[in-house]
């Protein structure tokens, strides 16, 4: 079965196409056929002006037309498309979705922060974790940060905060929002210490990549602090030159590190694992589970 997921985030729009293969023992493998990312940067308009501008809207529609063509080429049987924080905040978001439907035939859902956290959980990362440990799952995006606490094979909480890298670049995160996230994390993890952190999102993936760590190894909090100190003291142009970052990575990676470091400090987490999964992976697996239930 060929499935596709489209994640329209505050920084980029992603298309993931995967093949689900079911084996005799009931296990399911998801093979990634293609993954594309277009840096639309919708949040740059929305968090400043409250709307998606005409120029960005046209680019979004053209991107989705291209994604639809690729889905046809790969013979995608089912897809799900979701928009997150930027489209949640855009006053013209619902109108844009109607226009997308008219021009492409594609249905896009604007999901809440809590729904985003739930979909991220569908990556089934919890199944691979130790029953005896506590884990704090942190996903930092352009418009919001989703945090899930897993302990003793149970979900203790799933929470979304309107603190994201593009909001931070545009000074749209208040001291009160930071204090609330700090209070929430410290209050809700205190009974589950010690814990380990798990990080997702393009920024933590990039830090893991430049660290040259072997897959499966963790990143120590102290190393994240070192990267934050080095990158925050350099310009965007210098970051692009030193690490070959793209434009849309070089500016957001510093605020992303600030969020990861802050949450890890509040949760007393000394290391973070980076499994390279995200919202699109959750959308793929959620689709498969729903289709499997319908088939029974």
Task: State the pLDDT at residue 118.
Answer: 78
Question: Is 228 a residue whose pLDDT tops 70?
Answer: yes
Query: In the chain, where does the domain assigned CATH 3.30.420.150 lie?
Result: 124-277
How many whole angstroms separate alpha carbon 161 and alpha carbon 15?
Answer: 24
Fold annotation for 2-112+281-295: Nucleotidyltransferase; domain 5 (3.30.420)
Highest mean pLDDT among 146-155, 230-239, 272-281: 230-239
Task: State the pLDDT at residue 16.
Answer: 97
How many whole angstroms separate alpha carbon 81 and alpha carbon 64?
Answer: 10
Task: Indicate the angle between helix axes 54-73 and 93-104, nearest 10 degrees.
Answer: 40
How many whole angstroms separate alpha carbon 197 and alpha carbon 162?
Answer: 20
- Which is more confident, 127 or 104? 104
How many whole angstroms separate alpha carbon 30 and alpha carbon 102?
Answer: 31
Mean pLDDT in residue range 181-203: 94
Percentage of residues of the chain with pLDDT beyond 70: 96
CA–CA distances in Å: residue 249 to residues 156, 157, 202, 280: 32, 30, 8, 19
How many whole angstroms separate alpha carbon 232 and alpha carbon 257?
Answer: 10
Q: 249-294 pLDDT, tens per residue? A: 999 999 999 999 999 999 999 999 998 778 898 899 889 988 888 8
Q: Does domain 124-277 have CATH number 3.30.420.150?
A: yes
Mean pLDDT in residue range 114-141: 76
Q: Using 50, 70 and 90 to split pLDDT, how confident is the model at 114? A: confident
Task: State the pLDDT at residue 121.
Answer: 66
Task: State the pLDDT at residue 130.
Answer: 66
Q: Using 50, 70 and 90 to split pLDDT, how confident is the model at 131? A: low
Three-class SS state of 135 = strand
Q: 23-35 pLDDT, tens per residue? A: 878 788 899 999 9
Q: Please, what is the average pLDDT of the chain?
A: 92
Query: In the chain, where does the domain assigned CATH 3.30.420.40 lie?
Result: 2-112+281-295
């Amino acid at each position: 079965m060929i499935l596709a997921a489209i994640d329209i985030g505050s920084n980029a729009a992603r298309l993931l196409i995967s093949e689900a293969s079911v084996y005799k023992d009931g296990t399911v493998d998801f093979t990634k056929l293609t993954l594309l990312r277009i840096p639309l940067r919708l949040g740059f308009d929305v968090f400043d002006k409250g709307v998606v501008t005409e120029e960005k809207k046209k680019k979004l529609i053209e991107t989705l037309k291209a994604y639809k063509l690729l889905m046809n080429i790969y013979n995608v049987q089912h897809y799900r498309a979701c928009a997150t924080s930027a489209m949640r905040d855009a006053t013209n978001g619902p109108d844009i979705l109607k226009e997308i439907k008219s021009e492409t035939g594609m249905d896009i859902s604007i999901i809440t922060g809590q729904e985003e956290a739930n979909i991220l959980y569908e990556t089934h990362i919890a199944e691979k974790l130790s029953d005896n440990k506590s884990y704090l799952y942190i996903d930092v995006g352009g418009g919001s940060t989703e945090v899930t606490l897993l302990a003793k094979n149970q979900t203790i909480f799933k929470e979304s905060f309107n603190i994201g890298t593009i909001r931070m670049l545009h000074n749209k995160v208040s001291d009160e929002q930071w204090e609330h996230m700090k209070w929430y994390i410290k209050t809700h993890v205190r009974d589950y210490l010690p814990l380990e952190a798990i990080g997702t999102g393009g920024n933590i993936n990039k830090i893991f990549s430049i660290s040259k760590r072997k897959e499966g190894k963790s990143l120590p909090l102290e190393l994240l602090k070192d990267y934050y100190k080095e990158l925050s003291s350099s310009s965007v142009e210098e970051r692009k030159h030193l690490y070959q970052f793209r434009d849309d990575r070089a500016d957001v990676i510093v605020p992303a590190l600030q969020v990861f470091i802050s949450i890890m400090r509040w949760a007393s987490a000394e290391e973070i694992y980076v499994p390279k999964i995200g919202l699109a992976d959750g959308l793929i697996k959620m689709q498969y589970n729903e289709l499997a239930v319908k088939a029974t």
